[in-house]
Amino acid sequence: MSLRWVWSLLAALSVIAVGVVMLLSITTVEKEAWDSSEREQSRLLTALLGDELKMPMMANSRAEVDSLINAFMYQLPNVQVFLRWARGDEVNYGKTILPAAIAGLKEWPVTPAMVKGADKWYVMTIRYNTARLGDIAIYNPGKAWEAYASQIRWRMAAATLLAALLMGLLVYTMSGRVRNYLRELALACRRVGGGDFSAHLSVRATNEFGKAYYQFNQMVSSLEQREKIHDLYGHYQRPQLVADEYDRNAHRADKQREVTVLAIQVMNFHGSKVQSPQDDALHTLNRYYALFEFIAHEFGGHVDHISGDEMVVVFNHPFDLKCHENQAAKAGMAIAAAAARLTAGAADAVGFKIGLAIGEVMIGYLGTGRRRQLTVAGAPIELASQLARGVESDGVIAPYGTMLALGHGFRPKELGECLLPAGRQMRCINILPGEVYVEQEIAGVVEKAFQAFNPVDDPEDDQW
């Protein structure tokens, strides 16, 4: 479930929770007010009836007393009346039996009062000056509370549901705007991550998102400026940073070590559509290299140098890498798969060839002045470059004996004797996956790389 729906449901549930609390509170207050009103009404009715009966009882007019009480009960059909004359005669007007708590009273109150143990019964003694005329007890059930409470509940429930619906719609609408802002920002970030520094956002508001968009545009402008400087002076590296890191972590005493080298050669670059006037050729080529570098890093390698249309990736330098031959082979196959995906369906697209070589290289600083950098040099680099340049084959090209170092998980494809650019004859092979888990690992890294470096519309974005 998307955050948009979660926020809307939370808002609606919050309103419902508040409505339930308010319903309970209002019901409790109304019940107390209702009970208080019923008690006051019963006391008032008892007092009024007692006052009406004083004169007929003084005159000992039973007929008039009966007439008054019957008229009283006619006006209030649910009321029950019990009358006891001073001389002891008792009359029960109605079908309700007098509770034992009232029958056992020795002294009745002068003012109307409710008897403990006899709910909704109110009693008082009828007096004229100091003379006691008799006692009266009234049962007043009052109006049905449940009917009134049911009306309160239904009205509160309807109001709560309506408010929850409106709040949910409001939050859904507002969160949709927030989602669009975030989605626009995320897509722009993906474009920048893929090297497209033309991704600028329109600042349409002065709120927090407007400020964030402005800061994003400032960041992209700075990155674009640095990228232009890098394109102009891309060969320059800061050697001291590389040297410090190497001195802290690498084997300082090693001047030679065994590495695996991948040479990635760009083919047909000058005849491809990349060179068309409307495209920035170096920018496009740099994006290809960035994609390949990402894949190499995923398998533990690093780009040693880029020379024009060739990238050299080294494994097991400057840090130790277990099974660097296997990791390099998988990286090469992943780069070949990514290259095929890049050039699929384009007749005049650039091509990529990959050479792999294993051997010892020299480690040291090359260059002068500020261009001095830590790098490797030796026969494996030259051999990998010659394999990429000279052998007409797709995939990862390697010398025949490479399979002895790779072992399980790979299989060779014979290419026979190949003529390298220097006139040297060498038996070569293509390295292919030999197990399903190798294919799955390669496919996973390639997909990850394209997701990071190819910011296009993703169907999953519609779920925001």
Q: What is the pLDDT of residue 368?
A: 66
- Write the DSSP symbol of residue 174: H
Work out the percent of the chain whose per-residue pLDDT is above 70: 84
Distance CA 12, CA 83 (A): 58
Q: What is the pLDDT of residue 29?
A: 87
Within 10 angstroms of residue 8's Cβ, the number of other Cβ atoms is 21
Arithmetic mean of pLDDT, 23-38: 85
Arithmetic mean of pLDDT, 209-235: 72
For the record, the structure tokens of 156 come out as: 């509160």
| pLDDT tops 80 at residue 320 | yes
Tokens 């083919």 found at: 267
3-state helix vs strand vs coil in the chain, percent to 5 = 50, 20, 25
**262 burial type by CB count under 10 A (0-12 exposed, 13-18 middle, 19+ buried):** buried
Q: Are strands 351-366 and 396-399 parallel, antiparallel or unpaired?
A: parallel
| pLDDT tops 50 at residue 453 | yes
Q: Could you give the residue range(s) of every CATH 3.30.450 domain in the chain? A: 3-145
Distance CA 127, CA 351 (A): 119
CA end-to-end distance (rounded Å), the chain: 9
3-state secondary structure of 72: helix
Distance CA 68, CA 125 (A): 17
Q: What architecture does CATH give domain 3-145?
A: 2-Layer Sandwich (3.30)
pLDDT in tens, 383-432: 999 998 888 888 899 999 898 888 788 999 999 999 888 788 899 999 99
Q: How far is CA 301 from the centre of its chain?
A: 34
pLDDT in tens, 370-385: 566 677 888 999 999 9
Q: What average pLDDT is seen over the chain?
A: 81
| pLDDT tops 90 at residue 334 | yes
pLDDT in tens, 349-366: 678 899 999 999 988 777
- Class of domain 237-454 (CATH, top level): alpha beta
Q: Could you give the residue range(s) of every CATH 3.30.70.1230 domain in the chain? A: 237-454
E-only strand ranges, 129-280: 131-139, 256-267
Arithmetic mean of pLDDT, 209-228: 80
